[in-house]
Structure 1
Amino acid sequence: MTRATNDSYGRVLRLSGMTMFGKLAGTLTGSADDRPPLVLLHGLTFDRRQWGPLVRELAAVDRGRRVLALDLPGHGGSRDVAYDTSLVGALVHEAVAAAGLGAPVVVGHSVGGVLATMYAAHFPAAGVVNLDQALIMGPFGDLVRRSEPRLRGPRWREEVWDRLLAGMGVDELPAEGRELVESCVPRADQLLGYWDDIFRHSDAAIAGMRRDELGVIAARGIGYHWVTSAEPEPVYVRWLTGAVPGVAITVLPGGHFPHLSHPAEVAALLVDRSA
């Protein structure tokens, strides 16, 4: 990597000081106080660098808030320890404990939103913020299952990943956001591993698992906030509100990366979860 690239890397990310928390790499900022810490879980194929714009906004509006941005297994500085989602959740909890944090507000983007939901159902949590991840599969599940053979072939990136990415609104992001998305290099084993639940289970079974998790979250009185980039389908809203009454829903129009397209707005709603 050239010096110029290194300088650009540091300027764009604003997340330095990587530390290993258990088996996961991460960056911990802020100071311990009575506000619940934030744990940030990125989406599939990306890494903790994507939280740079949001962390900067938080530093301005929620100064000193304890924030742990993690690299999921097989991403960034974290090794290929496990892709099974239940094992990933346990590794995140191990990292939270290693960082000395209490019950966090778990913020997850894309597949990180699924992991955040699972985490709050199994471990102490003060809240969940799910960034643009529906919890039932629908057409996406069908697309993923049809893509499995191509993911095992030599042209998996052009035929699967690049086509998916083209529909995520990357071109509409600010320059920094585009660089953060485009700088990540996907691997077929990541996609196959993290999508294994979709390959192995029916949509109904997956919806049942998510409904059970949301039921636990609701019973524990843990707040749940879903941020979506488009007006949600009424049938999904009925399903979600039936599973976790009192869920907050925020629409931030744009692509699949609300923390990159609307970092100030996402930071503001996270401040609301300080109490």
Structure 2
Amino acid sequence: MTDVAGSTPITLAHDIQGSGPLVVLIHGITERKESWDPIDLGDEFEVLRVDVRGHGDSPLQSPYDPRTLAADVHATVEAVRPGAVPLVIGHSMGGIIATAYGVLFPTVGVINIDQALALGDMQKKVKSLEPLLKSPLFPVLVSSMFRSMRGVLPREENKRLSRLRTPRREVVLGAWAPMLQQTPEELVETVKQLTAFPSDVPYLFIVGIDPGEDYYAWLAESIPSSTYEVWQQGHYPHLVEPERFVAKVKEFAATSSPS
């Protein structure tokens, strides 16, 4: 099988536990499925956690664009629960993958944790860092990036995540290729494709680092089914308040499920 982007999807390294409606958890860049360890949804859901291509125990295999990565997640869903229509949750880069999943494949809803989709501002930052990204200072740059986004994440939890991260230059550069290689105008078109979200599928954006009111207006126009909540706790709001996050997922799932 070949996906819409032209590459062959792979079945990702994963684990699955619990029983109930299927929930898929997608981690952020350089991380792995164990980043979700504090999030316990197994009492009401069957939870599939994946290592994104190029992360954890999944293969290092380009390309790393959102459509390809979403197709990998879907291939993994089909491998473990054929025909399932999941609730898809992604953090950071995983939020982009989850969004692409909702555009390309059936889902009951998507939750995006702290990943803004209007990538123009991020493109400017990434372009300014390109020399460092391609230099021996790459690991230092990645560590600095995560320190700057920690917010109020507890010290021990921050240490746990640091141990889970594996910065791979080819993966980061591949995931950020649209911002590094496209013009601002081309990136706008890429984002339009990424946000061509079904109008009848609910979309929740949980904000850890507030992008501002202009962004929320853009999001409402780009994904009319979207809602947002500002938690303002840094890049990991779900790990700052895991119990609150679990309760929010249950609430969102209850209102998203077909009657």
Bucket of the pairwise TM-score, normalised by the shorter protein: 0.7 to 0.9
1:133 aligns with 2:115: yes
C-alpha RMSD of matched pairs (Å): 1.9
199-208 or 108-117, which deviates more: 199-208
Cα distance in 2 for residues equivalent to 1:126 and 1:154: 43
Map Cα deviations across residues 42-99 of structure 1 (whole Å, 9 max, x no partner): 0000000110101x2x24xxx1411101000111111112323322121111001011
138-147 or 127-136, which deviates more: 138-147
Gaps of 5+ in 2: 1-8
- Structure 2 equivalent of residue 111 of structure 1: 93
- Structure 2 equivalent of residue 30 of structure 1: 18
Alpha-carbon distance, 1:254 to partner:
1.1
1:51/1:259 contact within 8 Å kept: no
- Structure 2 equivalent of residue 252 of structure 1: 231
- Structure 1 equivalent of residue 25 of structure 2: 40
Structural mapping, 1:1-275, within 5 Å: 23-31=11-19, 33=20, 35=21, 37-54=22-39, 56=40, 58-59=41-42, 63-82=43-62, 83-100=64-81, 102-158=84-140, 160-169=141-150, 172-183=152-163, 184-218=165-199, 221-274=200-253, 275=257
**CA distance 1:38–1:227, shift in 2 (3 Å):** same
Q: What's the TM-score, normalizing by structure 1? A: 0.82
Alpha-carbon distance, 1:179 to partner:
2.6
In terms of fraction of residues, the more helix-rich structure is 1
Map Cα deviations across residues 122-161 of structure 1 (whole Å, 9 max, x no partner): 1111111000000012332111112222222112222x21
- Structure 1 equivalent of residue 3 of structure 2: none
The aligned length equals 243
The share of aligned pairs that are identical, in percent, is 30
Equivalent residue letter for 2:15: T
Cα distance in 2 for residues equivalent to 1:205 and 1:104: 31
Cα distance in 2 for residues equivalent to 1:97 and 1:201: 32
Gaps of 5+ in 1: 1-20
